[in-house]
Amino acid sequence: MSATATASRISPYVQELLDNQYAQENLREGGAKLRAAYERSRKRRVKAARDGKLRRQLGIAATSIGEGAKALASGRRKPPRRHGRRLILLLGFGSLGAGLALAASEDLRSSLFGSSAPSQQAPEGSRG
């Protein structure tokens, strides 16, 4: 195969790599984890099958490189962030703060719920 044919075949992937930040991040992370795993294997003379951290690094590297390759081939971009958990957390803290404010302030309770003094009626069974 000639050099021009090879260059024309890979040029869409190179262009996509330059444009796709998601693919770049995944490939960069995969390369970093591969380098870290290689350095760890050189320092320690332990079999890779027994080194849990080395296996985790290799697994993360393989996943990241695979995800980056898929993103390049399909043109997939980084998925948008969802703010659902943040909203639920914010609502939870807001309701907690409102409950604490109601518990601590007699004036606030009386203004929201009316008179807070209990009625002075005797129970029905205790008439004398």
Residue 128 has pLDDT above 60, yes or no: no
Q: Is residue 67 in some structural domain?
A: yes
82 within a domain of the structure (yes/no): no
User: Does some domain include residue 123?
Assistant: no
Burial of 41 (C-beta count, 10 Å sphere; 0-12/13-18/19+): middle
Q: Residue 59 CB: number of other CB atoms within 10 A?
A: 12
pLDDT tens figures, 40-81: 888 877 676 788 888 899 999 999 999 988 888 887 777 777
- Matching residue, tokens 């951290």: 53
Mean pLDDT in the chain? 81
The parent domain of residue 21 ranges over 9-74
Written in H, E and C, the secondary structure of 18-70 is: HHCHHHHHHHHHHHHHHHHHHHHHHHCCCCHHHCHHHHHHHHHHHHHHHHHHH
Q: Is the pTM of this model over 0.85?
A: no
The pLDDT of residue 33 is above 60: yes
Give domain status of residue 122, yes or no.
no
- Does residue 97 belong to any structural domain of this protein? no
Tokens of 42: 């050189």
Looking at the structure of the chain, the number of domains it has is: 1
Please check whether residue 101 lies inside any domain of the structure: no
Domain assignment of residue 119, yes or no = no
- Tally: H helices and E strands in the chain: 5, 0
The answer as to whether 37 is a domain residue is yes
